[in-house]
Each structure stands twice: as structure tokens, then as C-alpha cells.
Amino acid sequence: MKNFISKLNYHNAIAILAGALLLCYLAFLNTYPLVYFDSGTYIDSGFKNFFPIDRPVFYGWFIRHISMCVSLWFVVFLQGIICSYLIFRTIKALTGSTGLYIKFFSIIAVLVLCSAVSQKVSILTPDIFTPFVFMSILVLVIDDELKKIEKISISVILFYSIIVHNSHAYILILFFLIAFLLCVFKKQNLFKITYKKALIIFAIFISALITVPTTNYFLSGHFKFSRGGTVFLMGKLIANGIVEDYLKDNCGKHNFTLCPYKDGQLRHLDFLWDWQRSPLYKTGGWDANELEYSYMINDMLTSPKYLNLFLINSFQQSIAQFFNYAIIVSEENPEQLYESSPYFNLKMHLPHELNNFIASSQNRKLLNYTYLNKRHELLMIFCFAASGLIFLVKQIRASVSNKLKSAIALLYLFLIANATVCATVSFIVPRYQNRISWLLILLILLVIFELPFFKKYYSKVDC
């Protein structure tokens, strides 16, 4: 870390650290890092060194080693530093050094007050790494002033950001596919990316794809990208009603373990997480059912009838997910006391932090995101409208730099890929989209800062 900071301008380093503290605002307000239902599994997998059936182990390791088994505050602080650094580099790469500090702190302030960025930095889940994926790629592609140490650092951030969450690889596959099709059919090489840069990003991506199943193999004996992917997809197909139709059509020919539930019972169960009532657990659990569920899914997705239903549902739900970015306490940070996974695993692995965790605002039900959500909703509406003006009104389009226009276009591809993947393999959940929606606010604010009316006020300030 010292070598990295020494390569930066001293004032830039101070600005990045100050930005990181601002980004941790909600953790300070909570008096302890925020947690989610999944945080307990991440903590446990990192400290016990096992590969969970439903997620990678890498964020668990991140928690274990960055906390140094002392405090989870260190995890939040590092997430803040990485986020602050990538925002700083993104601003500099897109708009230069003129008025850099003014733009940086103004944007950080707006993002903290009007988006989910502080909540994502302050929580012990890998959601904040999703925007890290986009910003890392963006900076590597457009910033020609990066020093060697910074290129290496951002490449490492990109690599680790890909492997901490199962969805990131699928999001990038769809993102790259759409970008490639634009290049081929629309002759749109956004940023005119060189083969060398494309090769570097591709190499990082392939390395990540190899790392996940290899690590899984050494820890669990399964050379798979995700041990629980089949069950997750089955849960999605059940929620959409496709499995119910399939069972009615096929239980006369096959004796599936789900056949006793073919008359609609599955829709009224939490298939993935109801340990007492779900047939998933009554018939042996995730591993025991994988072979049968794989056969059923393959049969459904190769049948025109069920495939059409799946695609129609995916399309409709992807649109819904794209515009579902609310910040709601009950969805993001409900109370996590006593019988919860975060409480149990903190008690087991970091018992000296348990009292601070219990006394947090989250666990005293004092958090309220109502006004934050209202500000976020209004600002997102403004950003969507501004995006439309940038691309549809010729005079406005001409006044915005090609770099910013290309960055906004790429971000929309990323937003679409994120919504499509999450809605297709999981459920419509606001946090999936609000973890990256703030990136649009960042880019639209940069467009505003580049307008002559605003630029004249900081044009003499150099960094």
C-alpha cells in the first residue's frame, strides 16, 4: 500500500483518503459496518476456509484477511479507499485534471447524499465490487496516463472484483457480447480500444474464469464455477411457474422428486431457503438434487414451449429489474440479531465485536432510508432524461465530449447486462440495480461539470 501511495501525487492521496471516509458515512452513522443476511456466510467461509455451496469463497477471504481477525471496520475502510480511488481515476480519465478536486468532492457529496454508494461501501457484501468491475475496465481502456503501478493495481482490482461474486462473470460475458455486436454490425468501436488493451482485459477475464473453478476444486473437490447454479435456476423456474407446467406434462413419464408438488404447492414455498418445508431439503439438499434438476432444466430449456415461457419471463423481468433501484431498509439492512447468520458468525469468529454489533443503529431499528430513496429516485429520473437529451438532441450531443458519450453508452450496456443476468437467474431485487445505478449519476454530473457555464468557475484550478 505504501508503494502504491508513494507513486501518487501527495495531494491526490489525501483527497482519495478523504473521499473514502465520506463514502463510509453510513457505516459511521450506523456505528458499525452494515450487514445483510448473506454477510454471515461470507464471514464463516473466510474464517473456516471453505467454499460455500451458493457463492464463491473470495469475499470471505477478503473479510478474513483485511479484518486481520481484529475488526470488520478495516474491510469497510478498504472498500471505501478502492471506491474513492476508482471514482477519482474515472473523473480524471474522462475530464482531465482541471478542477479535479472540486469535481471529485462535489460528486462524492452528491453520491453519498443521493445514491446507494455509501450503503454499498459500508456493508459486508461484495455488491460494491460490481461497480468496481465497470470502473476498472473503463479506466484501463481510456486512461493513457496511468503509470505502470496503477495499471497493475487496477488490473488486480478488476480481477478480484470479477471473482468475488458469481454474477459478475455472466454480466461481463453479456456486456462483452453486446459491445462486440455493436462493433461488428454498427461499426461502433467505443473509445477506439486498441487490440493490446482488449487483450489485457480479456486475459484478466479468462484468468478469473479459471481461478474460480480451480479454487473450488481444491477446497471442495468440485471443478465448477458455481456449485449452486443449478438449484438457483430451478428456484427461478419454479417462481415463474414453468416447473409446475413441466411437472404436469411429464410426471406421468418420470418419477421426479418434485412430482408430489405438481399441483401448485411449490409457488407457496420459499424453495431455496425454507429449511423445514421446501422439497429441496426434504429430498437431500443441493448436491443430492443437482443431477435430477440438471436433467429437468436441460429438458425445459430445449423444449420450445418452456423455452418461450422462460425467454418471455426473462425479458419482462429484466425490464422491471432495470428500473428497480429503490433503497429500502427492510430490503437492504433489516435487523440481524440473535438467531441471524451474521450474529451467529460474529459471535463465533469475532466475539469481541459482538456488543458493538448489537448496539448498532441497524440492530436498534434506527436506520431510515426514506429520504435517501426519494432523493435517489428523483436524481435517477433526471439522469435518464439527461441521457436522452445527450443522445437525441444534436446540439447537446455536439457539446459533450466523445469520451463521456462513449462512457455513458458503455454504462447503459452494463446496466442492461446486470439487469438481464440478475432477473434471469435470480429474482427482481432492488439492491442488484442500485449497486450500480449511482454510476449513471457520476457520469451525468461530469457532463454538467463540463458545461461552459460551470467550467468557467473552476477552469483556473489545476491538480
93-151 pLDDT, tens digit per residue, is 999 888 899 999 999 999 999 999 999 999 999 999 999 999 999 999 998 888 899 99
**Counted domains in the chain:** 1
Is there a domain that residue 275 lies in?
no
**pLDDT tens, residue by residue, 354-369:** 999 999 999 999 999 9
Give me the DSSP letters along 79-126.
HHHHHHHHHHHHHHHHH-STTHHHHHHHHHHHHHHHSSHHHHHHBSSG
What pLDDT is stored for residue 1 in this prediction?
Answer: 52
The enclosing H or E element of 270 equals none
> With bands split at pLDDT 50, 70 and 90, how would you rate the model's confidence at 5?
very low
**pLDDT tens, residue by residue, 310-362:** 999 999 999 999 999 999 998 899 999 988 999 999 999 999 999 999 999 99
What pLDDT is stored for residue 460 in this prediction?
Answer: 62
Is there a domain that residue 444 lies in?
yes
The larger pLDDT score, comparing residue 76 to residue 225, is at 76
Q: Which are the contacts of 9, defined by CB distance < 8 A and separation ≥ 6?
A: 463
> With bands split at pLDDT 50, 70 and 90, how would you rate the model's confidence at 189?
low
Is there a domain that residue 79 lies in?
yes
Using a pLDDT cut of 70, give the percent of the chain over it: 95
Q: Is pLDDT of 212 > 50?
A: yes
Is there a domain that residue 59 lies in?
yes
79's grid cell: 472498500
Query: Vertex 147, ends 144 and 153: CA angle to 5°?
Result: 105
Is there a domain that residue 429 lies in?
no
What pLDDT is stored for residue 451 in this prediction?
Answer: 86
Q: Is pLDDT of 40 > 80?
A: yes
Q: Helix %, strand %, coil % for the chain, to 5?
A: 75, 0, 25
Is there a domain that residue 198 lies in?
yes
Rounded CA separation 353/365 (Å):
19
Is there a domain that residue 172 lies in?
no
Quote the mean pLDDT of the chain: 91
Is there a domain that residue 23 lies in?
yes
Using a pLDDT cut of 90, give the percent of the chain over it: 73
Rounded CA separation 87/438 (Å):
11
Question: Domain containing 108: what range?
Answer: 2-164+194-220+324-372+439-458
Q: Is pLDDT of 208 > 50?
A: yes
Q: Look at residue 34 and give its three-state secondary structure.
A: strand
Give me the DSSP letters along 95-106.
H-STTHHHHHHH
